[in-house]
């Protein structure tokens, strides 16, 4: 028996050394099996080409975004952003927050978004393309195509099966949930972050095989750039820890895995700590800011199952795209809003446990780990923003990997009636075609701001907050009659809609109808209840009422409302406006206290230091005034009153 086997091996070796020349075959005589075999041989020979399939699919399904213009945040972030319009300001990308260019709007500039690489991208884009919208969109398309290629590279490394990786990457390239991240110029944060995140994870995976220390250095460097693009990159250490402890538990003893995990933790902690130091220096906060309403933790935890369930539905059935996915806070574990999604999530977890697929578990962990930072930040999200499709950009890799694994499993089944080896590829192609069509259609939602918010109303015409958002957009566009009509429609749908009252009050104030504006704000205050979503409005409504009463010269009520706003939310904007009220009344000592308190909450907001300097001037504290003026010039070097402040410093 062994002799016969050795003879066969010798024959195969001889055939390899002296291959037979293939005979020409008449095309008409080829069977289906022969054709499929030849296609397979062709793909195998051109394996360096077929890996570009995800790239081509990403380009084909996203290229129509070049027809879109600037929409939503693109207008302030690009057209009205002085920081990106001069490349000399490039260093400020690392010393300012995303919205700090709005130097006269303290509510905008006290944001939590420290994303230097995003600002660098926009600065370079503006230097190259100015306000040519299609070129900005092209950059987004190219980033998405590059990420789609990286998805293939990473999943091939994880699965060690190129066809599974190729299927998952192709599905990723065309998934409709990415329309928001690709078609919206300002949505580039997630694709750009993925552009660094995936190489970081890939270098880590290669290090595990090659043990080349340079790969770990590259992984840490790419991870640091991902953090500087978007804070959700914090998910990477979670994935590394899972890979070390759980994914490879059968390949090494626990003690070895524990030591390896500690080593990886130490390495990735260096860029993490450096990022947080830079972030704290600029924002003055690590993650949570007192300038935003914070919902009760219990309510947020009870809301998490429905948030996760909505994300899963968006991945599985990505139709009827809308920029808004309103998610009401859940206040009871006995409610259907908690029990139904919790049962769904629990069933999926149980299924994963029973299937016991290491790769499927990795797909699930990737999905939830990359969503975790967004889920953790939900306490500061308005319910209309609790679920956002752009948060799924990187997470969708896990879902697409799971689908690819399912297709592979299906192809391996043996069913008498249906040839699964043919059906599985057919289903893959059908899914890619369907998702491609949907993606191309949904891209056009981002043609401009009006089309975006009109689409929100078209998708859900009975949503009051969709109406109020469109109302704001109409007013900004100068369509005042349509703006008021949408706000009133929101009130018809929900008489307790606070946003509608706020909008109508703003419209009345802008038209000089102060009494009417005050009435609308007071009606909004009466709509506030103890329910967390409504309660979160209380501070801002008292603040708005205070400013209106001040404009009406009713200073007692103005002070009462502004003080109440500070009590409810001791934030920089509320302290700043209360201090401004005192300054205008000549109560400079109280103004000083207010501005100093505001400065403690937002020390890098330039106007606070200008106002503090002016207040110290009035109090005769000239040295303190000089220090504050200098800080103002340091933080706002482009200020229009720069020459005036310099003269003040030169002549105390």
Name the pLDDT band for 38 (thresholds 50, 70, 90): low
Q: How many CB atoms lie within 10 A of CB 640?
A: 8
The pLDDT of 70-96, averaged and rounded, is 90
The DSSP output letter for 286 is S
How far apart CA 151 and CA 142 sit, in angstroms, is: 14
Name the pLDDT band for 633 (thresholds 50, 70, 90): confident
Q: What is the CA radius of gyration of the chain?
A: 29
- On the question of pLDDT at 109 being above 80, the answer is no
- Cα 516 to the chain's mean position, in Å? 38
DSSP 225-262: HHHTT-GGGGHHHHHHHHIIIIITTTTS-HHHHHHHHH
Backbone angles phi, psi at 51, to 5 degrees: -70, -15
- On the question of pLDDT at 10 being above 70, the answer is no
The pLDDT assigned to 498 comes to: 96
Q: Could you give the domains of the chain?
A: 49-445 (no CATH), 461-569 (1.25.40.10)
The pLDDT of 107-113, averaged and rounded, is 72
How far apart CA 543 and CA 563 sit, in angstroms, is: 8
- Segment 212-235, tens digit of pLDDT: 889 999 999 999 999 999 999 999
Name the pLDDT band for 27 (thresholds 50, 70, 90): very low
Name the pLDDT band for 28 (thresholds 50, 70, 90): very low
- On the question of pLDDT at 54 being above 90, the answer is yes
Q: Is 516 exposed, middle or buried (0-12, 13-18, 19+ CB in 10 A)?
A: middle
How far apart CA 89 and CA 81 sit, in angstroms, is: 11
Overall pTM > 0.85: yes
Among left, alpha and beta (phi > 0; psi -120 to 50; other), residue 569 is beta
- Segment 125-174, tens digit of pLDDT: 999 999 999 999 999 999 999 999 999 999 999 998 989 999 999 999 99
- Segment 481-513, tens digit of pLDDT: 999 999 999 999 999 999 999 999 999 999 999
The pLDDT assigned to 344 comes to: 94
The pLDDT of 625-651, averaged and rounded, is 81
The pLDDT assigned to 151 comes to: 96
The pLDDT assigned to 644 comes to: 81
The pLDDT assigned to 291 comes to: 57
The pLDDT of 40-51, averaged and rounded, is 61
The DSSP output letter for 91 is G
- Segment 240-277, tens digit of pLDDT: 999 888 867 666 677 777 888 888 889 999 999 999 99
How far apart CA 275 and CA 269 sit, in angstroms, is: 10
- Cα 179 to the chain's mean position, in Å? 13
Can you tell me which residue has the tokens 């205008």?
A: 584
The pLDDT assigned to 253 comes to: 72
How far apart CA 631 and CA 459 sit, in angstroms, is: 48
- On the question of pLDDT at 4 being above 60, the answer is no
The pLDDT assigned to 36 comes to: 55
- On the question of pLDDT at 22 being above 70, the answer is no
- On the question of pLDDT at 431 being above 80, the answer is yes
Degrees, nearest 5: CA angle 234-235-240:
115
| Average per-residue pLDDT for the chain | 87
DSSP-based three-state secondary structure for 529: coil
**Weakest-pLDDT range from 431-445, 500-514, 598-612:** 598-612
- On the question of pLDDT at 381 being above 90, the answer is no
The pLDDT of 299-310, averaged and rounded, is 94
DSSP 544-606: HHHHHHHHTT-HHHHHHHHHHHHHH---HHHHHHHHHHHHHTT-HHHHHHHHHHHHHH-TT-H
The pLDDT assigned to 48 comes to: 63
Q: Is 4 exposed, middle or buried (0-12, 13-18, 19+ CB in 10 A)?
A: exposed
Name the pLDDT band for 8 (thresholds 50, 70, 90): very low
Can you tell me which residue has the tokens 């219990």?
A: 298
Q: Among positive and negative, which fits the CA dihedral 121, 123, 128, 129?
A: positive
174-192 as b/e, with b when 16 or more CB fall inside 10 Å? Answer: bbbbbbbbbbbbbbbbbbb
């Amino acid at each position: 028996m062994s002799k016969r086997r050795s003879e066969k091996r010798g024959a195969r070796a001889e055939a390899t050394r002296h291959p037979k020349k293939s005979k020409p075959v008449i095309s008409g005589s080829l069977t289906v099996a022969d054709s499929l075999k030849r296609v397979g041989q062709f793909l195998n020979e051109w394996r360096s080409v077929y890996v570009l399939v995800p790239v081509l699919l990403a380009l084909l399904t996203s290229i129509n975004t070049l027809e879109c213009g600037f929409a939503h945040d693109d207008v302030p972030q690009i057209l009205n952003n002085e920081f990106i319009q001069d490349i000399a300001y490039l260093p400020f990308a690392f010393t300012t927050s995303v919205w700090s260019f709005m130097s006269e709007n303290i509510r905008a500039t006290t944001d939590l978004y420290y994303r230097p690489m995003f600002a660098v991208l926009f600065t370079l884009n503006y230097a190259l393309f100015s306000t040519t919208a299609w070129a900005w969109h092209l950059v987004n398309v190219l980033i998405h195509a590059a990420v789609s290629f990286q998805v293939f590279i990473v999943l091939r490394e994880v699965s060690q099966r190129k066809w599974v990786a190729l299927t998952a990457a192709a599905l990723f390239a065309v998934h409709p949930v990415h329309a928001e991240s690709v078609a919206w110029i300002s949505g580039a944060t997630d694709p750009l972050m993925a552009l660094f995140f995936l190489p970081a994870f890939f270098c880590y995976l290669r290090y595990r095989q090659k043990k080349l220390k340079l790969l770990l250095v590259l992984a840490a460097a790419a991870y640091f750039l991902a953090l500087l693009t978007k804070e959700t990159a914090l998910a990477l250490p979670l994935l590394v820890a899972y890979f070390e402890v759980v994914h490879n538990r059968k390949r090494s003893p626990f003690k070895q895995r524990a030591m390896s995990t500690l080593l990886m933790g130490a390495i990735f902690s260096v860029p993490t700590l450096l990022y947080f130091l830079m972030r704290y220096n600029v924002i003055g906060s690590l993650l949570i800011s007192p300038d935003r309403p914070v919902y009760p933790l219990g309510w947020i935890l009870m809301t998490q199952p429905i948030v996760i369930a909505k994300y899963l539905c968006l991945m599985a059935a990505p139709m009827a795209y809308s920029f808004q996915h309103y998610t009401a806070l859940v206040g009871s574990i006995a409610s259907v809003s908690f029990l139904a999604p919790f049962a769904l999530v629990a069933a999926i977890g149980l299924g994963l446990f029973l299937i016991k697929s290491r790769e499927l578990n990795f797909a699930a962990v990737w999905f939830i780990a990359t969503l975790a930072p967004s889920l953790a930040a939900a306490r500061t999200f308005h319910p209309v923003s609790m679920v956002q499709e752009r948060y799924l950009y990187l997470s969708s890799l896990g879902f697409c990997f799971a689908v690819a694994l399912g297709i592979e499993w299906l192809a391996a089944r043996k069913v008498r009636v249906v040839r699964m080896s043919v059906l599985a590829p057919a289903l893959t192609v059908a899914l890619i075609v369907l998702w491609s069509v949907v993606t191309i259609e949904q891209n056009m939602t981002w043609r401009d701001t009006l089309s975006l918010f009109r689409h929100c109303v078209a998708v859900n015409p009975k949503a009051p907050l969709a109406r109020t958002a469109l109302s704001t957009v109409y007013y900004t566009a100068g369509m005042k009659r349509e703006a008021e009509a949408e706000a009133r429609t929101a009130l018809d749908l929900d008489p307790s809609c606070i946003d509608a009252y706020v909008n109508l009050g703003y419209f009345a104030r802008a038209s000089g109808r102060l009494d009417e504006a005050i009435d609308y704000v007071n009606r909004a205050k009466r709509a506030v209840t103890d329910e967390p979503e409504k309660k979160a409005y209380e501070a801002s409504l008292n603040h708005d009422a205070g400013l209106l009463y001040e404009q009406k010269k009713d200073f007692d009520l103005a002070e009462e409302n502004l003080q109440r706003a500070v009590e409810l939310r001791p934030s920089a904007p509320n302290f700043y406006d209360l201090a401004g009220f005192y300054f205008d009344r000549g109560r400079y000592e109280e103004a000083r206290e207010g501005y100093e308190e505001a400065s403690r909450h937002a020390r890098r907001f330039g106007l606070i230091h200008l106002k503090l300097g002016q207040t110290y001037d009035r109090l005769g504290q000239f040295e303190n005034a000089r220090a504050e003026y200098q800080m103002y010039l340091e933080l706002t070097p482009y200020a229009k009153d720069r020459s005036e402040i310099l003269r003040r410093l030169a002549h105390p």
